[in-house]
Structure 1
Amino acid sequence: MPLVNMKPLLRDAMDNGYAVAAFNLVDYGTTKAMVAAAEELNAPVICQTSTKTIQYWSHKEIVSWVRTVAEDSPVPVVLHLDHCKDLAMIEACAKAGWTSIMIDASELPFEENLEMSKRVRDIAEKYGVGMEAELGQIMGVEDDMHVAEEDSVLTDPEDAQRFCDALDLSAFACAVGTAHGFYHGDPVVDFDRIKRINELTKTPMALHGGTGLSDETFLKAIERGSAKINISTNLKHVFVQSFVDYHTAKPTDFEPLRLIDAQYQACKTMFSGFIEKFGGKDRAPAYLSKAA
């Protein structure tokens, strides 16, 4: 089926108490694996792209991968641009076929962030795509963005309400104690803040920094309104480690397709685990019946 807009999908997730898994694809193989995992579980999925990945492969190649695997798929697939600060890249993605775009101007003061996000709102409306924006500083490392713990700023619920009321977002990214990358020690997630923000904004929350969180943390966040959960670092490690493990186990096997398939299977298993953990299993039919 054609790629879908993220807004109604996340609204369905929020209304029905589950979250859609969002994975930052690396190449065609990981793209194919995440959609295959979603198909096996009859679940929706979000294929995300970082700006670094787009710069490496190009808009044309990435959109062709995702469209190719989605067009014959019976489940809803979103192509989403993750953390982007470049308006030109945001518009290029929307024009090329992405069905959701994210502006991350969270390092700016509130009014400047809102003004930049309104400009992206215009782009989203122009191309009929979903939109995510961020308020508050999420700690950790995301591609080339580094936010130290002492520089992180948790999102104020009242500011969140003002921000979301002005933008009509598909997803709202905010700082609630999670972090990009692997955690060093136990994360202190502010579940009361998640609940309060969702009560005030009534906007599906995107929980960034999903790698390394416990099952209990995921469940509590979803119960309080998190409808999109991002997984990136975990994929990077499985992608590389599965390659290394295969070659270590079979050092004389230089058939690339067997090695690539081992990598594909490891990634697919990881995708399936998160999709099921977030409650996405068998959610595709109900969403599609409403969207029809």
Structure 2
Amino acid sequence: MGIISTTPLLNQAKKGKYGIVAFNVHSFDSIYWVLEAAAEMRSPVILQTTVGTVKSLGAENIVKVVKAASEYYHVPTGLHLDHCTDYEVIKQAIRAGYSSVMIDASMHPFAENVRRTQEVMDLADSLGVNVEAELGKVGGVEDNIVVSEEDAQKAVPTECKEFVQMTGVPTLAPAIGTAHGIYKGEPNIDFSRIEQIGELVDTPLVLHGGSAVPEEDVRKCVSLGMAKVNVSTELKNAYSEAIRQHFIEEPESLDPRAYLQKAKEAAKAMVASKIRMVGSEGKVVPSIIEA
């Protein structure tokens, strides 16, 4: 099946009132774990990497592994570059074979965000590569991008409409009260704002900071038009904690096959729970594959 554009995946999800989880992967083995779980759930999925992971593993290497794994498991798979501020890295990812890229210019004034997003659209759109952009500022830490609680800002619905009209961007990530990482308190999601944006914007919306958000809140976000739900920290923590627990219980057991098997089981359980949460189980259908 290989890597496919996330545009038809997300348009189909929005139309069908379900979500697609975008899992941040940080190693080659985690790519296989996520896709194995998605195959068992018969769910389309998006794998995404930070700029740091691209620099660590190499964009071309990541594409080769994702392509091989998606073909082996026969899962509709998008490959997304998350939170990138560097145009040259975006070009590198597109050349390598990524099917989706995010230009994060949300730290700039509106006009500059539009300009930078249009620049990426000019490069990606003709190649069938999905482009994601952000309005407002999601708090927390994502790779090397840090936004304090004081600096976090929610997206303005009318600006979202204007932004999409001016850029033609097919996927929009509006800041609506979530945060990257694990929450210290309760997430304060502005559902009314999501609803307003959804009424003004036809493109699928993206929920950033999806880790540790209560399931009922995520489902409500999906029902209001958030077709892509990002999960990073919870997945990373699940398999890291499994490895740590292995060495607590069996400190002399140094066989990587033993502790990585436990990490795989923990990661797959987390993936399956998130797929059920957004309602994408069983959504591998011909209309998605052929789009």
TM-score (ref. length: structure 1): 0.97
- Which residues of structure 1 form unaligned runs of 5+? none
TM-score (ref. length: structure 2): 0.97
Give the AA of the match of 1:55: K
Give the AA of the match of 1:255: D
Q: Tell me, in whole angstroms, the C-alpha distance in 1 between the residues paired with 2:276 and 2:286.
A: 16
The offset of 1:237, in angstroms, is 1.1
| Aligned counterpart, 1:93 | 93
Give the AA of the match of 2:57: W
Q: Tell me, in whole angstroms, the C-alpha distance in 2 between the residues paired with 1:240 and 1:216.
A: 26
| Aligned counterpart, 2:109 | 109
| Aligned counterpart, 1:81 | 81
1:228 match: secondary structure: strand
Contact persistence 1:9–1:287 (CA under 8 A): no
| Aligned counterpart, 1:170 | 170
| Aligned counterpart, 1:260 | 260
Q: Tell me, in whole angstroms, the C-alpha distance in 2 between the residues paired with 1:253 and 1:281.
A: 36
Deviations 1:52-102 (A, max 9, x none): 001111112211111110122322100100000000000110010000011
Deviations 1:145-168 (A, max 9, x none): 111111111100000001111223
Q: Tell me, in whole angstroms, the C-alpha distance in 1 between the residues paired with 2:242 and 2:127.
A: 38
Q: More displaced, 222-231 or 55-64?
A: 55-64
Q: Tell me, in whole angstroms, the C-alpha distance in 2 between the residues paired with 1:35 and 1:169.
A: 27
1:149 match: secondary structure: coil
CA-based RMSD of the aligned residues comes to 1.2
Q: Tell me, in whole angstroms, the C-alpha distance in 2 between the residues paired with 1:169 and 1:280.
A: 24
| Aligned counterpart, 1:69 | 69
Give the AA of the match of 1:288: I
The offset of 1:126, in angstroms, is 4.1
How do residues 275-286 of structure 1 correspond to structure 2 at under 5 angstroms?
275-285=275-285
Contact persistence 1:85–1:103 (CA under 8 A): yes
Q: More displaced, 249-258 or 4-13?
A: 249-258
| Aligned counterpart, 2:251 | 251
Aligned length: 291
Q: Sort the Cα spacing of 1:113 and 1:288 in 2 relative to 1 into closer, same or farther, 3 A.
A: closer
Contact persistence 2:3–2:76 (CA under 8 A): yes
Q: Tell me, in whole angstroms, the C-alpha distance in 2 between the residues paired with 1:170 and 1:29.
A: 30
Please tell me whether residue 210 in structure 1 is matched to residue 210 in structure 2: yes
Q: Tell me, in whole angstroms, the C-alpha distance in 1 between the residues paired with 2:210 and 2:120.
A: 25
Deviations 1:101-147 (A, max 9, x none): 11000000000000000000011124321110111111111111111
Q: Tell me, in whole angstroms, the C-alpha distance in 2 between the residues paired with 1:150 and 1:68.
A: 43
2:150 match: secondary structure: helix
| Aligned counterpart, 1:11 | 11
Runs of 4+ in structure 1 deviating by more than 4 angstroms, as ranges, are none
Q: Tell me, in whole angstroms, the C-alpha distance in 2 between the residues paired with 1:210 and 1:279.
A: 15
| Aligned counterpart, 2:118 | 118
Deviations 1:14-73 (A, max 9, x none): 111100000010111110011111100100000001000011111122111111101223
Please tell me whether residue 149 in structure 1 is matched to residue 149 in structure 2: yes
Q: Tell me, in whole angstroms, the C-alpha distance in 1 between the residues paired with 2:187 and 2:288.
A: 36
Contact persistence 2:12–2:288 (CA under 8 A): no
- Which residues of structure 2 form unaligned runs of 5+? none
Q: Tell me, in whole angstroms, the C-alpha distance in 1 between the residues paired with 2:274 and 2:286.
A: 20
| Aligned counterpart, 1:159 | 159
Give the AA of the match of 1:130: N
Q: Tell me, in whole angstroms, the C-alpha distance in 2 between the residues paired with 1:262 and 1:170.
A: 38
Give the AA of the match of 2:171: A
